[in-house]
Structure 1
Amino acid sequence: MAERPTSSWREGIEEERRELAAGTLDPECACMAALFPDALLIATDGVMDAFEADLQELREAPDERVFAAVERVVSALNAINEERGGSAYETDEREQLCDYIDQALNEQGIDVVALTARHGLGRHQLTDKWRRW
Structure 2
Amino acid sequence: MVIRPSVRWRARVDEEARELAAGTRALGDAFLSELFPESLLVATDKALCAFESDVEALRDEDDEQVFEAIKSVVLVLNEINEEHDGAGYETEEREELCLYIDQILTEHGIDVPALAARRGIGRTEITDDWRDW
In structure 2, stretches of 5+ residues that fail to align are none
Residue 10 of structure 2 corresponds to 10
CA deviations over 1:44-69 (Å, ceiling 9, x no partner): 11111211110112252310100000
Q: Distance in 1 between matches of 2:111 and 2:26?
A: 45
Are residues 103 and 59 of structure 1, via their aligned partners in 2, closer, same or farther at CA, if it must alter by over 3 Å? farther
Residue 100 of structure 1 corresponds to 100
Q: Distance in 2 between matches of 1:8 and 1:56?
A: 22
Q: Is the 8 A contact 1:59 1:110 kept in 2?
A: no
Q: Distance in 2 between matches of 1:82 and 1:39?
A: 12
Map residues 1-133 of structure 1 onto 2, 5 A cutoff. 1-133=1-133
Q: Distance in 2 between matches of 1:90 and 1:110?
A: 27
Q: Distance in 2 between matches of 1:93 and 1:110?
A: 23
Tell me the CA shift for residue 22 of structure 1: 2.3
Q: SS where residue 129 of structure 2 aligns?
A: coil
Q: SS where residue 56 of structure 1 aligns?
A: helix
Q: Distance in 2 between matches of 1:112 and 1:59?
A: 16
Tell me the CA shift for residue 20 of structure 1: 1.3
CA deviations over 1:19-48 (Å, ceiling 9, x no partner): 212222111110111111111111111111
Q: SS where residue 121 of structure 1 aligns?
A: coil
Tell me the CA shift for residue 72 of structure 1: 0.2
Q: Is the 8 A contact 1:59 1:109 kept in 2?
A: no
Q: Is the 8 A contact 2:70 2:127 kept in 1?
A: yes
Q: Which amino acid aligns with 1:30?
A: A
The count of aligned residue pairs is 133
Q: Which amino acid aligns with 2:87?
A: S
Q: Distance in 2 between matches of 1:14 and 1:52?
A: 24
* TM-score after normalising by structure 2: 0.95
Q: Is the 8 A contact 2:7 2:45 kept in 1?
A: no
Q: Is the 8 A contact 1:98 1:127 kept in 2?
A: yes
Q: Which amino acid aligns with 2:88?
A: A
